[in-house]
Amino acid sequence: MSGTDLSVIILSYKSKSDLERLLPSIFGSRTKYSFEIIVVDNGSGDGAYEWLESWIASHREHAVKAIKNSNTGFASGNNIGIRQAQGQYILLLNPDTKVSPNTFEVMLDLMQSRPEIGISGCKVVKPDGALDLACRRRFPNPWNALRRFLHISKSEYNMLDTDENTSMAVDSVMGAFLLIRRGVMEKIGLLDEDYFMYGEDLDWCWRCKAAGFEVWYHPETSVTHFKGSSSSKIPFKALKWFHDAMWIFYRKHYSEKYPFFFNWLVFAGIYGRMGVLLILNRFKKHPAVSR
């Protein structure tokens, strides 16, 4: 293992314009820690990989590696990058983000000082400054999911009953910015490739907590998330992958706790919701995916 502190894994899909914004923000950051960047191009096919190769060739002072891949999904694509990583910490970072100058240093300082934390995430905000609610969540279960789907309440799942500016233990942070300790990853394994897109971050956090480590939300620094950049290009597929992820997570972590008929109702509810959204999306300029 090298002396690299941090490996940043960026999974790119048709994300040339996003990378043009993200990479300068990374290399404009201030940190005492060493880091490498590994960009996995997930079959963009639009010249993004060729642009990235050109960018790397003209910025040889930076430790950036590009890997060309077919579109094997979010979990699989990130795992390809992780297997190449040398860092003691691994950061999953979406291409449609922009990091603050102190982000890496603040988050690694946290992990270095708190060995009980296995996974952490910072505050993630949208371009208008509003909190991206997915950056700190309680695990979904049949009851909070039902309340959320019926628009009764998002409070429990999205932790709206807590202060977004307080550093705290949570159930899950989001895959757009997810920092994991290598030693923890070696204990719990890589991302579950049963998930094509969505859900793999929840699953990783579940396994982290099951192994006895904490998952921590730390709003002392932030990244901006220009959300939905990739999924908006393939709304039908993204909508299906989102609902598939719900079912995979439920089947893996809850189905043994409930009788068959209840599991069948959950299955019907998930894919019934998907069917309704598919119909509604036909009449929308901006189709819903993961709301």
Q: Which of 97, 157, 86, 145 has the alpha carbon at shortest distance from 122?
A: 97
- pTM of full prediction above 0.85: yes
Question: Over 90: is that where the pLDDT of 104 sits?
Answer: yes
More confident residue, 148 or 15: 15
Average pLDDT, the chain: 90
Model confidence band, residue 38 (pLDDT cutoffs 50, 70, 90)? very high
Beta pairing, strands 168-170 & 97-99: unpaired
* pLDDT for residue 289: 61
CB contact set of 163 (below 8 Å; sequence gap of 6+): none
CA–CA gap between residue 191 and residue 15 (Å, rounded): 22
pLDDT value at position 270? 84
**Residue % of the chain over a pLDDT of 90:** 61
Tell me: pLDDT of 70 over 90.
no
How far apart are the C-alpha atoms of 199 and 201, rounded to whole Å?
5
The arithmetic mean of pLDDT across residues 54-75, rounded, is: 90
Predicted confidence at residue 200, as pLDDT, reads: 96
pLDDT higher at 280 or 198: 198
What pLDDT band is residue 9 in, cutting at 50, 70 and 90? Answer: very high
- With cut-offs at 50, 70 and 90, classify the pLDDT of residue 230: low
Tokens encoding 175: 């895959």
Q: Which of 105-119, 198-212, 275-289 has the lowest mean pLDDT?
A: 275-289
| Cβ 228 vs Cβ 278: under 8 Å | no
| Rounded Cα gap, residues 251 and 262, in angstroms | 12
Distance in angstroms (rounded) separating the CA atoms of residues 268 and 270: 6
Q: What is the mean predicted confidence (pLDDT) over 265-275? A: 84
The answer to whether residue 290 scores a pLDDT higher than 60 is no
**pLDDT given at position 29:** 80
Helices (H), ranges, the chain: 16-27, 48-57, 74-84, 103-113, 142-149, 182-188, 200-210, 235-253, 260-281
Span 214-235, mean pLDDT?
82
Query: How confident is the model over 158-177, as pLDDT tens digits?
Result: 899 999 999 999 999 999 99
Look at residue 71 in the predicted model and tell me its pLDDT.
87
Domain boundaries, the chain: 6-228, 234-281
The CATH classification number of 6-228 equals 3.90.550.10
- Taking the C-alpha atoms of residue 44 and residue 208, their distance in angstroms, rounded to an integer, is 31
In the chain, the DSSP E strands lie at 6-12, 35-42, 64-69, 89-93, 97-99, 117-125, 168-170, 177-181, 214-225
CA distance 88 to 231: 30
Residue 207 or residue 59, greater confidence: 207
Phi, psi of 129 (to 5 degrees): 95, -10
Per-residue pLDDT band for 46 (boundaries 50, 70, 90) equals confident
Q: How far apart are CA 222 and CA 29, in angstroms?
A: 12
Give the separation between CA 202 and CA 91, rounded to whole angstroms.
15
What is the average pLDDT across 216-224?
97
State mean pLDDT over 73-92.
96
Confidence check: pLDDT of 231 > 60: no
- Region of residue 274 (left: phi > 0; alpha: psi -120 to 50; beta: else): alpha
- The predicted pLDDT at position 61 comes to 84
